[in-house]
Amino acid sequence: MIAAGLHIDMNKVLITGGAGFIGSHLVDRLLADGASTITVVDSFSDYYDPVTKRANVERYTDRPDFTLVEADICDAAAMSDLFRAGRFDSVIHLAARVGVRHSLQDPMAYEETNVRGTYVLLEAARQTGVPGVVFGSSSSVYGANNSVPFSEDSELPLPISPYAATKVAGEAACHAYSHLYDMRILCLRFFTVYGARQRPDLAIHKFARMISMGEPIPVYGDGSTSRDYTYVDDIVSGIIGAINYRGSDFEIINLGESRVVTLSSLISLIEGALGVRAKIHRQSSQAGDMTVTCADISKARRLLGYEPQTQIEAGIQKFVDWFTTRPSRANERAAALIQASGSASLSPPIERVPSIP
């Protein structure tokens, strides 16, 4: 594990998408660990309620070591001005259009933000001599690969969604800039991140909300699809390891838990944590969805000192604790339904694909 309180070598850190789910947790950790100044740039798009994203960072807005910039990463002039004024020591690029299914509906928007936006940031970093860049990639780049665990050294199959294609393009852009301009760039492939403040469209959050309100949850396929679920605190530890990395100029590194859990087992865990039985609405499998994801994290262990600490059973309970106590009318209703249902245990044995050492 990367220790809490790890010294941050970087004095001036820029986080794109820093008001979002992963980004705001990274802000929490960096400020707690003593980074001198944090700048967050976020467009506060309406992909989900911008009020939620603003609430993620509002407690920092009066701090002298925190700056919030509302801007679009595709605005080259704005980014150039920001980089020249900030003179950043490290850039963590997390801003992106996200989600496989939404990318099928609006692929051009994904290309604009995820590809052009990444080039804009890389160019601004090059022009201002940023020493280190960390790029948030995705396990979706592994496409229709059923050979687990996924290794960074394996040849990538063709992507099976526009979202995945934009992440492959982002990694390629990072490699080109590192090769041409001697920039130190690490691409981190995140595997199904979850935890407090998770986006409301992601499965764990959506299922918890719908189950607690007595609504049927949409389950695509027979429930046998499997994911490597990674708790957000572990992802943040991996990012901090990447910020402090002083090895080769370019690396691609998986960040996951290296365990796979079936969709049916995930639902059972959420039911158990909520104390409410789910109503299932079976639907056809979705185009662009991967059958399985599982990270080989041996490289992250070796290069970053990465060691995930929160397994899925504990992580789901932590998420539900946050979900049922955060202030919102929807969750007040959810908490009331859970209380009314009693606290009967709903904890069937978890079904897993065999663990990966």
Q: Running along the chain, 357 residues long, what does each successive block of 10 average in pLDDT?
A: 42 95 96 89 87 92 94 97 96 94 92 97 98 96 87 91 96 98 97 94 93 92 88 98 95 96 94 94 76 94 97 97 76 47 42 39
Phi first, then psi, for residue 91 (nearest 5°) are: -120, 125
Q: Report which residue type is found at 353.
A: V
Would 101 be classed as within a structural domain?
Answer: yes
Contact by Cβ (8 Å): 293, 150: yes
Would 52 be classed as within a structural domain?
Answer: yes
Would 273 be classed as within a structural domain?
Answer: no
pLDDT for the residue numbered 326? 80
What number of other Cβ atoms are within 10 A of residue 185's Cβ? 27
Would 225 be classed as within a structural domain?
Answer: no
User: Pairing between strand 132-138 and 226-227?
Assistant: unpaired
Which parts of 244-288 fold into alpha helices (H)? 263-274
What is the rounded distance in angstroms from the CA atom of residue 336 to the CA atom of residue 113? 40
Would 279 be classed as within a structural domain?
Answer: no
Would 6 be classed as within a structural domain?
Answer: no
pLDDT for the residue numbered 104? 92
Would 324 be classed as within a structural domain?
Answer: no
For the range 204-207, what are the long-range contacts, defined as Cβ-Cβ under 8 Å and sequence gap of 24 or more? 204/229, 204/266, 204/270, 204/316, 204/319, 205/319, 205/323, 207/266, 207/267, 207/270, 207/278
Judge whether 163 counts as a catalytic residue: yes
How many domains are there within the chain?
Answer: 1
pLDDT for the residue numbered 168? 97
pLDDT for the residue numbered 290? 77
Q: Which of 60, 110, 119, 163 is catalytic?
A: 163
pLDDT for the residue numbered 289? 73
Specify burial of residue 342 (Cβ count, 10 A radius: 0-12, 13-18, 19+). Answer: exposed
Name the residue range of residue 128's domain. 12-191+232-256+295-308
Would 211 be classed as within a structural domain?
Answer: no
CATH code, 57: 3.40.50.720
pLDDT for the residue numbered 327? 65
